[in-house]
Amino acid sequence: MQYPESRKIRHTPEIVPVAHAPCSIDGFIQIIYIEIMEILLDASAIIAVIVDEPESDIVINCTKGAVTVSPNIVSFEIANSLTKMMKKGIISNVEKMINLIKIYQRIPIKLVEINLEKSLEIAWNNKIYAYDAFYLETAKRLNLPLLIFDNGMRKIGKEMGITILGG
């Protein structure tokens, strides 16, 4: 990989300097850069981490050193998933539910807008829920890999040309 000469550096959100101390390579003073990967997380991947499901190791390993991204509706889906677990008896008291949402709130996630029209087209064309389409639309539009465990969404994502991570 060739690194840009310091006088030609253009900063982008995906590339950040890791060393400001100049080093000499072939007589040129350069700054060393690395690319920071962004990964779109589905709510199920986040739930796996906060409730410590077996898939949590996959999520943690896939996102090490990455910027995690989700559609701006993810908080609603996380809260809904927790109430679903309450109804199934998996979460036995409100304190546990509140503790889990606090764990979620400590996870650094870059929230991004969704395109409702495109999402609904994806939902219609694939006969899926809008919530699922939000993740697919966002991953496709932003050209981000999608970390997901739902097999149906994995299949649709692959058909859409989305890079799929996870189990």
CATH code of the domain covering residue 140: 3.40.50.1010
Helix H, strand E, coil C: the string for the chain is: CCCCEHHHCCCECCEEEEEEEEEEECCEEEEEEEECCEEEECHHHHHHHHCCCCCHHHHHHHHCCCEEEEECCHHHHHHHHHHHHHHCCCCCCHHHHHHHHHHHHCCCEEEECCCHHHHHHHHHHHCCCHHHHHHHHHHHHHCCCEECCCHHHHHHHHHCCCCEECC
CA dist., res. 157 & res. 137, Å (int): 9
The pLDDT of residue 107 is 94
Residues 22 and 54 grouped into a single domain: no
Residues 90-135 have pLDDT tens digits of 999 999 999 999 999 999 999 999 999 999 999 999 999 999 999 9
Number of compact structural domains in the chain: 2
- Using alpha carbons only, what angle is made at residue 85 by residues 115 and 64, rounded to the nearest 5 degrees? 60
From 13-17, 87-91, 146-150, the region with the lowest mean pLDDT: 13-17
Residues 131-163 have pLDDT tens digits of 999 999 999 999 999 999 999 999 999 999 999
Q: Does 115 fall in a domain? A: yes
Average per-residue pLDDT for the chain = 82
Residues 117 and 143 grouped into a single domain: yes
Q: Does 161 fall in a domain? A: yes
Residues 112 and 152 grouped into a single domain: yes
Q: Does 45 fall in a domain? A: yes
Residues 49 and 22 grouped into a single domain: no
Q: Does 96 fall in a domain? A: no
The pLDDT of residue 35 is 59
Domain with 157 in it: 38-74+108-165
The answer to whether residues 70 and 40 touch, using CB atoms and an 8 Å cutoff, is: yes
pTM of the full predicted structure?
Answer: 0.77
Stronger pLDDT, 32 or 67, i.e. the higher one: 67
Residues 125 and 143 grouped into a single domain: yes
Residues 45 and 24 grouped into a single domain: no
The pLDDT of residue 33 is 44
Looking from the CA of 159 toward its CB, the CA atoms found within 13 Å total 9
Q: Does 21 fall in a domain? A: yes
